Amino acid sequence: MSDALNPALSDAKDAKSAARDAVAETKRSFKDTASVAKAGLTDAAHKAEKALKESAEVLRAQSRTYVDNAGQYFDEGQRYVVERVKERPVTATLAGVGVGLLLGLLLANRSNHR
């Protein structure tokens, strides 16, 4: 009977060895796959960071243009108002008083409704 067990024992040892080799190969394969995935994610993160920095720079440049234009328009508006007040000071004063009176009435009416 020991002769009958020797081939089975040998087959079991071979199966055990094959299973160890398969586990080792699976571990290597997993490590390789994880390494490739990590490299891909790192690359994608660097590309996304670069794209965000470029977008922020473009936005910064565009906002400078808008700020410069807004400042220019504000200056022009201020000069226009000053010129009109100098041309007709009484009319400008009456217009200012009228606007102030309307705002006062609106705000007083608004607070009464609360």
Chain centroid to CA 95: how far?
47
pLDDT digits (tens, 9 = 90+) for 43-66: 999 999 999 999 999 998 888 888
Q: What proportion of the chain, given as a percentage, has pLDDT over 90?
A: 59
pLDDT digits (tens, 9 = 90+) for 7-52: 778 888 888 999 999 999 999 999 999 999 999 999 999 999 999 9
82-114 as b/e: b if 16+ CB within 10 A: eeeeeeeeeeeeeeeeeeeeeeeeeeeeeeeee
What residue spans define the domains of the chain? 2-112
Half-sphere exposure at residue 91, Cβ-oriented, CA atoms within 13 angstroms: 8
pLDDT band of residue 5 (cuts 50, 70, 90) is low
Whole-number Cα distances in Å, 38 to 27, 32, 34, 48, 81:
16, 10, 6, 15, 63
